[in-house]
Amino acid sequence: MPQTQFEKIWDAHVIESRPDGQTLLYVDRHLLHEGSFHGFEYLDQRDMPVRRPGQSFAVADHYIPTTSRNLADTEDDVARSLITRLEANAAKHGVSHFGIDSESQGIVHVIGPEQGITLPGLLIVCGDSHTATHGALGAYAFGIGASEVTHVLATQTLWQMKPKAMRISVDGARPAGVTGKDVILAIIAQISAAGATGHAVEFAGSLIRDLSMEERMTVCNMTIEAGGRAGMIAPDEKTFAYIKGRRYAPDGEDWDKALAAWLALPSDEGAVFDAEVTLDGTAIRPMLTWGTSPEQAAALADTVPDPANAPNAEKAEEWRDALDYIGLTAGQHFRDVAVDKVFIGSCTNSRIEDLRAAAAVLKGRQVQVKQALVSPGSFLVKKQAEAEGLDRIFKEAGFEWRESGCSMCVGMNGDLAERGERVASTSNRNFRGRQGQGVRTHLVSPASAAAAAITGHFADPRDFA
Amino acid sequence: MPQTPFTALTAAGVPLDSANVDTDQVIPARFLKYPRSDTSWTFLFHDLRLRPDGSENPDFILSNEPYKSKGRILVADRNFGCGSSRESAVYALQDWGFRAVIAPSFGDIFFNNSFKNGFLPIRLRTEVCNALRQDLHDAPGAEIAIDVEAQTVTGPDGVAHSFELDDFRKYCLTRGLDDIDFTLEQTRKIDAFERDNRPSWLGHNA
Ligand code: SF4
């Protein structure tokens, strides 16, 4: 029987299946961040060890300051204690830890691929919903909750019900100026924030294959915003070239064996998916979100949608609510909407290509907003950007050039906007209050964020290329 | 963690009308750094329930009696608990006093997290959820009965609706069991899997 990539990886990790569908799966690699304190507390209470410490990797990203690499600059004592507890827990249990001053530090979903921890065919989990990012390399990766983190620490396994398989195919030549971020926003706008609920999603099609590795990460990263359990893309030559030589990737004879295994991973011809969605890639344009759910997205060149045109009464009500919170009026051109702050960063869009795309727009221009902040996704991304002189472009334009971390993606480390402020953000969630109470978040690509920064309102990045 | 067994519950329902209520709404990120404590219930729906000045927002259902003090079952709309994986969303609901949430659909991770804490998420059809919420608006404080063993929800109108629940979750829920203990009993199978089924190119890093 022809199998999907998801089924192949799933089958290779089954330890035991119960008649009721609950399956015990083996976890290859487990990523930990500050939120893991619940899990370690449980182990300590019961005096239990981490079953396979060599398969866990810990990094602080959510609470660390981005103004410096000094813990003294952490927002407060409670946040600081979470960072130091992660280090202490990792040390106690023999788990690799990339501390705030380590060259391997960065946002957990940026450093996984960067360090070669993320590999095709692996089952990877992390107590964070954007774990789907790692599927860009052909892994089955998904976010788990605190109890599941504990379960993985204690047993290196997880009980799961098998999700259904969905394929989202985006075909056609990619229009100029369209990035991975625009593609995933267009997908979510089409299928809704719950469109992939209960499914492991495979992104396929010529446009997806055309994306760079980093753009594929952006696409998979936001699978959860469509409700998907995991997102993945078939590994190909681009994937292998990306992985080769990374710290935790196989080498020598192991590399050859791995490659042979990886080549067999892609979904077989004729494999059946429980759901199929197709998008015309040629119709995608640079996008932004205009509401408080990632499904409320439109092309930057368009106008604010009118709830009167919503597909049904229920949606009309949601749109009205969202517009009320976000402070926009139906019919307004997005290009006339003033932006207060710009944030470039997060596990969605903080990699080197993201910074290059933003810098290309910013070069020789000046920021026209109250605050513009860029937080590279990892220490190594920052170092690379500095080697290329991107930091100077950002700084000369008026951006704050910060350290790596989750930063303004989430209101938990001191990087916040203020009530009523409108933020053009390259992150993944435009939920109410995500970037601070009463803050209005619009999700955009790095180039579009840069275009907003230099014009002071939303703008089509293609005008600045 | 071991839980109180959950077999049946009859209690007042609270209708929550918005769709896509994400876990950032259930508990804002800035509260996640605090350990669970006697005051964690105050985090629940914090920014919806309270105004910026800290006073109660009467427009939010949970600020009003009898929902506020009597509500134990939340009846929500589609895609409840989407977004962040924060298990604190479940803790906050429980610490407030909720024991179950009924909705047409849920965020996957929230749905899983719930069971790990002896908290029951129940999927019922959209029309049923809409009707339940209407009943709860019409008769504030009206009760809903949940029978875990029989897998039914009985609304204020006396009509019973069955829901799906797999045996394993039901077993753990009705006995208040922790699945870690259960899995540790399978250690020999895990050992065997590690010995025989892991790719050699991973260089089994212990
Ligand atoms: S950058 Fe944002 S979405 Fe990504 S892991 Fe950090 S908080 Fe989560």
Task: Decide: A62 in ligand 1 pocket, CB within 6 A.
Answer: yes
For residue A465, tell me if it sits in a domain. no
Please tell me the predicted confidence (pLDDT) of residue A298. 98
**What digits encode the pLDDT tens for the residues A436-455?**
999 999 999 999 999 999 99
Q: For the stretch A100-129, what's the b/e string if a residue is b when 16 or more beta carbons lie within 10 angstroms of its beta carbon?
A: beeebbbbbbbbbbbbbbbbbbbbbbbbbb
Task: Provide the shortest C-alpha distance from residue A155 to chain B (in Å).
Answer: 7
Q: Measured between alpha carbons, how far is A103 from A96 in angstroms, rounded to an integer?
A: 13
Shared domain check, A296 and A320: yes
Shared domain check, A403 and A449: yes
The answer, for B126 touching chain A at a CB cutoff of 8 Å, is: no
Residue listed under structure tokens 């992104």: A203
For residue A250, tell me if it sits in a domain. yes
* Percent of chain B with pLDDT strictly greater than 70: 98
A129·B32 Cβ contact <8 A: no
- B23, B78, B108, best to mutate vs chain A, most A CBs in 10 Å: B108
Shared domain check, A41 and A74: yes
Which residues, including other chains, have CB under 8 Å from residue A415's CB and lie 6 or more apart?
A: A66, A343, A373, A375, A402, A407, A408
**What digits encode the pLDDT tens for the residues A277-306?**
999 999 999 999 999 999 999 999 999 999
The answer, for B32 touching chain A at a CB cutoff of 8 Å, is: yes
Shared domain check, A402 and A257: no
pLDDT at B155 over 60: yes
**What digits encode the pLDDT tens for the residues A400-427?**
999 999 999 987 888 999 999 999 999 9
Please tell me the predicted confidence (pLDDT) of residue A55. 97
As for how many domains chain A has, the answer is 3
For residue A301, tell me if it sits in a domain. yes
pLDDT at A308 over 80: yes
Q: Supply the DSSP string of A301-342, one letter for each residue.
A: TSBPPPGGGSSSHHHHHHHHHHHHHHT--TT-BGGG-B-SEE
Shared domain check, A247 and A389: no
Average pLDDT of chain A, as a whole number: 96
The rounded Å distance from CA B33 to ligand 1 centre is: 15
The answer, for A35 touching chain B at a CB cutoff of 8 Å, is: yes
* Whole-number Cα distances in Å, A195 to A187, A189, A275, A294, B50: 10, 10, 10, 12, 31
Please provide the distance, in angstroms rounded to a whole number, between the alpha carbons at the two ends of chain A. Answer: 48
Q: Measured between alpha carbons, how far is B137 from A52 in angstroms, rounded to an integer?
A: 51
The answer, for B40 touching chain A at a CB cutoff of 8 Å, is: no
CATH number at residue A180: 3.40.1060.10
Report the number of secondary-structure helices (H) and strands (E) in chain B: 9, 7
* pTM confidence score: 0.94
Q: Which residues of A touch B105 (CB under 8 A)?
A: 194, 197
Report chain A's C-alpha Rg in angstroms: 21
Give the number of C-alpha atoms closer than 13 A to the C-alpha of residue B141, restricted to the C-beta side.
5
Shared domain check, A297 and A206: no
Residues B41-48 have a mean pLDDT of 96
pLDDT at A375 over 80: yes
Task: Decide: A128 in ligand 1 pocket, CB within 6 A.
Answer: yes
For residue A337, tell me if it sits in a domain. yes
Hey, what are B117's tokens? 């804490």
Shared domain check, A170 and A155: no
The verdict on ipTM greater than 0.95 is no
Shared domain check, A451 and A398: yes
**Alpha helix (H) ranges present in A72-203?**
77-93, 108-114, 146-155, 180-191
The rounded Å distance from CA B177 to ligand 1 centre is: 32
Average pLDDT of chain B, as a whole number: 93
Write the single-letter amino acid at A91. A
A197·B105 Cβ contact <8 A: yes
For residue A384, tell me if it sits in a domain. yes
pLDDT at A465 over 80: no
- A33, A41, A155, best to mutate vs chain B, most B CBs in 10 Å: A155
Shared domain check, A275 and A298: no
**A422 neighbors A440 (Cβ within 8 angstroms):** yes
Comparing C-alpha atoms, which of A108, A29, A30 is closest to residue A346?
Answer: A108
pLDDT at B204 over 70: no
Please tell me the predicted confidence (pLDDT) of residue B206. 41
Task: Decide: A426 in ligand 1 pocket, CB within 6 A.
Answer: no
Shared domain check, A321 and A188: no
Residues A267-276 have a mean pLDDT of 98
For residue A105, tell me if it sits in a domain. yes
Report chain B's C-alpha Rg in angstroms: 19
**B110 neighbors B80 (Cβ within 8 angstroms):** yes
**What digits encode the pLDDT tens for the residues A165-190?**
999 999 999 999 999 999 999 999 99
pLDDT at B205 over 60: no
Shared domain check, A80 and A134: yes
Testing ligand 1's pocket by substitution, the residue of A373, A427, A430 carrying the most ligand atoms inside 8 A of its CB is: A427
Please tell me the predicted confidence (pLDDT) of residue A239. 98
Which residues, including other chains, have CB under 8 Å from residue A243's CB and lie 6 or more apart?
A: A116, A119, A120, A137, A249
The rounded Å distance from CA B19 to ligand 1 centre is: 23
Q: For the stretch A428-449, what's the b/e string if a residue is b when 16 or more beta carbons lie within 10 angstroms of its beta carbon?
A: bbbbbbbbbbebbbbbbbbbbb
pLDDT at A132 over 90: yes
DSSP state for residue B99 in the 8-state scheme: -
Instruction: Pick the atom of ligand 1 nearest to A108's CA.
Output: 5
CATH number at residue A409: 3.30.499.10
Please tell me the predicted confidence (pLDDT) of residue B181. 83
With CA atoms as reference, the chain B residue closest to A317 would be: B18
Domain of residue A405 covers 289-460
Please tell me the predicted confidence (pLDDT) of residue A175. 97
**A112 neighbors A31 (Cβ within 8 angstroms):** yes
Please tell me the predicted confidence (pLDDT) of residue A49. 96
Q: For the stretch A168-197, what's the b/e string if a residue is b when 16 or more beta carbons lie within 10 angstroms of its beta carbon?
A: bbbeeebeebbbbbbbbbbbbbebbbbbbb
The vertex-A294 CA angle with A293 and A296, nearest 5°, equals: 70
Q: Measured between alpha carbons, how far is A60 from A170 in angstroms, rounded to an integer?
A: 35
**What digits encode the pLDDT tens for the residues B121-137?**
999 999 999 999 999 99
pLDDT at A23 over 70: yes
B166·A432 Cβ contact <8 A: no
For residue A441, tell me if it sits in a domain. yes
Shared domain check, A91 and A36: yes
**A196 neighbors A166 (Cβ within 8 angstroms):** yes
